[in-house]
Amino acid sequence: MKIYPYKRLNRPITFRVTSVSLKLADGTRDQLDTSAYSTQQQAVALGVAGHDDWVSATIGLSATLPPGADAPDAAWSDVRVLAVLVDGETNVRTTTDLTRDAEDSRDWSGFLELLRDDHLGRASLIIYAAGTVDGVAGRSIAETDRSWIVDTVSDEPVSGLQLEVRKASFTKSSREWLRAYADVPWIVDTSARVPTVFVNTDVEGIVGLLDSSGSGVESKVRDLLVAQMATDVWTAVFHGAIGDLEIEPGGNPVFPTDWQGEVLREMLPDVVPGVHVEEALRQVHRRRTGDSGWAELQTRIHYAAIRRAEASRALGYAIRSLEQANRESEK
Amino acid sequence: MITQPDHVPERLALLPASAADRFLTEQLLKAEQVHGGIDLAKVVEPLPEDDARWAVEPIRSLVEDAIFEFRDDRTRADAWLAPRLHATLRLTRREAADKRLWTHLALAVAPDYVAWRHLSEPTAARPERRIPAERFQGPADRQCFSRLWWAAELFRNGPDYEPVEVACGNQDLIHTVLRRDLIDHRPTAQALVRLVKSGKIATGREINGLSVAITAAGATLVYDVLAPDEPRDPGPLRNWIAEAETAPPVSRHVLPDGPDEDPVPEDSVALLVDHFTELFETAPIRGRKSEI
């Protein structure tokens, strides 16, 4: 818990997205339907309508300050509520003031506009309430405890990191570097905007298997295959993220601000359980760069990757499905 | 020392890390031998043909001039090249965030510059001279060219590149501050430059100590309220990018003009200069004698 040298609200601000619209290159506006955002996932996906020529997006927001914000004896005055969008990849910070819905309301709302040219992938959205406390202006008196994710590319509003799956013939692809890997069914590329799995369409039947939908054994095998790929991806991105860490002059690693940071925050609790993620990152970094402990950590990293990939569930269903098939063939 | 590859492409392209890897050879990192360029050209992803911004020649000639001009003190090349690279290679932040562009620039277009600028000096502990691989392909604030471009983008005051020269003249400032979120707030960036320019902060420890203090204070102060910035207007940047088609080469002697955006509100910068000065005087700085 943080200690503040002045009075604050001790509960977080809650907020939700109420509308999303895109301004297109021809000057028209497309109001996206509710599938563009999810309150449960706390995510906005600007790619849902399939436009790739939009110029800016306007996100409607509604925030509720915690009880006590408007108390007559509050320690603050001149309260302002701000929506702040930050993007670690492009260093863009966009802020907008929200306005109070009614005289004695704790609800504030407004619109945040973001430019497509300013973002490559994902940005996060936070709400701050600030006021003048003890004569100091701009004191933060409350904020949201969890940010929303605004994904400028994705067509599905999910807060977790999405993997991209691309199909390509490794021997014929225009991506020549894939040719070196022509004898394997898939390869993971963690250097792209989001981690990407390239599936080798030269492997006969693999596309049919991956695209199968039904409920039979085939789909269970597909899920197992996907879980296996996902395990590979998570392992690779974890190593990639750890290998790229920035180190402060004091020797402490800095949390990356892009998707690598997201990956680390998700996996570290399983890799080094029971400590804060910042401490976990320090420990992992020490083990990788120090004299010992890196080899021992591999099991934990693998464990974290298998859990992320939900491999146990996929395997469980696949086994049950096989058992059923066997039973039926014995009849 | 290596020279440019036999085959230098005419246009910039995107070079994915997975494809770049096999060109980052030991010989290259020791600056002994560079690839020929032909094989590398086969694995790039091309950029649109009709966009004049991707022409390599203006950038190639800039880096050659930098190598000649600063042959006696290569560190000083940063402050000269950063604004000129930014004004030559006109990008949106969205485009600049694509690391594949910078990897291509470093590996295919100007590996000789990367070697010239970043080959390590031999020391007792590390007698072998070497170019860190991250200077070719790495985080935005470490890669040879992207760090300069981003320094120019984040420290320019609207069209004015003068603060960029100041910022890039201090290796500690761009090294320490570029990777921190605090610099995303334009008034904060301008206030930091003023403090460096006036000599109030200079050493790496001072800059690091202050940026830690600013971040810590930022947990209780909303700088956007304290020192507001203007909302971004996308028009001037778009126009500036469109003018790349007809823009003459940047001047080697006077600073070019950046996109015609509004400068940072002066009141906000002045307020933060005072605020940071106060923070700095009370911040714990390693190696600074406490005044008792």
Instruction: Enter the ipTM.
Output: 0.90
Of A6, A90, A93, the CB nearest to B94: A90
Whether residue A257 and residue B224 make contact (CB cut-off 8 A), yes or no, is: no
- Contact between chains at B139 and A246 (C-beta distance less than 8 A): yes
Q: Which of B19, B176, B220 sits opposite A139 (nearest CB)?
A: B220
A199: phi then psi, degrees, rounded to nearest 5: -100, 130
Are B249 and B58 in contact by the 8 Å Cβ rule? The answer is: yes
CB atoms within 10 A of CB A192: 16
**Mean pLDDT (whole number) for B259-286:** 91
User: B97 CA to chain A: closest CA distance, Å?
Assistant: 6
SS3 A182: coil
A310: left (phi over 0), alpha (psi -120 to 50) or beta: left
When comparing pLDDT for B119 and B175, which is higher?
B119
The whole-angstrom distance between residue B262's C-alpha and the CA centroid of its chain comes to 21
Residue with tokens 């020791």: B30
CB neighbours of residue A127 within 10 Å: 25
Q: What is the pLDDT of residues B213-260, one digit of tens each?
A: 898 888 888 999 999 999 888 899 999 999 998 999 999 999 999 999
Closest approach of B69 to chain A, Cα-based (Å)? 31
- Whole-number Å distance between alpha carbons of B2 and B34: 6
Neighbours of A135 (CB within 10 A): 6
Query: At residue B292, does pLDDT exceed 60?
Result: no
Nearest to B139 among A80, A192, A244 (CB): A244
Q: Give CA–CA dist A301/A262, Å, rounded.
A: 15
Partner-chain contact B220 A4, CB within 8 Å = yes
Nearest residue in B to A120, CA atom: B94
Residues B184, B189, A112, A48: is their CA dihedral positive or negative?
Answer: negative
In angstroms, the separation between the Cα of residue B65 and the nearest Cα of chain A is 29
Burial of B279 (0-12, 13-18, 19+ CB in 10 A): middle
Residue B179, both tokens: 């990777």
What pLDDT score does A88 carry?
87
The answer to whether the CB atoms of A246 and B141 lie below 8 A apart is yes
Residues B190, A196: Cα–Cα separation, whole Å: 38
- What distance in Å separates the CA atoms of residue A143 and residue A129, rounded to the nearest whole number? 6
Closest by CA to B59, choosing from B124, B3, B126, B108, is: B108
**pTM: predicted TM-score of the whole model, two decimal places:** 0.85
Of B88, B199, B78, B66, the C-alpha closest to B147 is: B78
Please list the residues that pair with A22 across neighbouring strands: A30, A57
User: Which of A255, A218, A239 minimizes the C-alpha distance to A300?
Assistant: A239
3-state SS string for B216-261: HHHCCECHHHHCCCCCCCHHHHHHHHHHHHCCCCCCCCCCCCCCCC
End-to-end Cα spacing for chain B: 52
**Residues in a beta bridge with A150:** A44, A123
Residue whose C-alpha is closest to residue A23's, from A94, A117, A95, A148: A117
| Pairing state between β A246-247 and A122-133 | unpaired
Mutate to test the interface with A, among B18, B137, B141, B230 (most CBs of A within 10 A): B18
Report whether pLDDT(B110) > 90.
Answer: yes
CA A244 – CA A253 distance, rounded (Å): 10
Q: What is the pLDDT along chain A (331 residues), one digit of tens a residue?
A: 467 778 888 899 999 999 999 999 898 999 999 999 999 889 999 988 888 889 999 999 999 999 988 888 888 999 999 999 999 889 999 999 999 999 888 999 999 999 999 998 889 999 999 999 998 889 999 999 888 999 998 888 877 766 778 888 999 887 888 888 889 999 888 776 678 889 999 998 888 888 877 777 888 888 888 889 889 988 988 998 888 888 877 778 888 877 788 889 889 999 999 999 889 999 999 999 887 888 889 999 999 999 988 888 888 888 888 888 888 887 7
pLDDT at B10: 95
